[in-house]
A and B are shown apart, each in its own frame.
Chain A
């Protein structure tokens, strides 16, 4: 699934990072605990999280993830935007809950 399609499915808005609409993504990881992300997310996955702290972006960069989506319309902190810009990691915000986001993306063919 392309990053662009994910954006449409989640009615999300990109708020920071490089635009990479054509980026192909196959897997997603839904988590708020960063150790969980580090332990279980595979490189190239999409991270769906409710944690809007800069740590979410740093962890995603460390785990070589493809992009991050903040759920439930949570506004990223300023430091978080800066961290995303620095690493180039595409960062999105959706109004949908984590549950609804996972459901829609699973339905659309993403796995995790």
Chain B
């Protein structure tokens, strides 16, 4: 499933990487510990996290993630968005909790391990 379709179905706000919404989402990963994401997430995963730190972009690039969904709304640091634009990593925002966002992704058929 393409990221753009997920964004539309879940009503996610696109904060960065609008040119990369055609990315294919192959699976899902949830978590806030960057080292665990690096170790466990797979290429093409959509990452659900509450982290807003610029480092999330670096992690996404290294792992080759399809995009990042930042949960619980709120403001994302400008430095994070800037870096995401540079690296071409889509950042989408939901006001819902991580649990809920993952639940809705699961409903769309996105699976983890």
Contact = CB atoms under 8 A, between A and B. Distances in A.
Contact, chains A and B (beta carbon distance below 8 A): yes
Interface residues of B, number: 27
Contacts of B106: 99, 102-104, 106-107
Given A72-B40, A112-B99, A97 B32 contact: no
A40 B30 contact: no
Contacts of A33: 32, 50-51
A54 to B, nearest CB: 16
Interface range, A side: 20 to 34
Interface string B101-113: 0111111001111
- Which DSSP category, helix, strand, loop or mixed, fits chain A's interface? mixed
A44 B8 CA distance: 32
Interface of A: 28-33, 36, 40, 48, 50-51, 72, 96-100, 102-107, 110-112
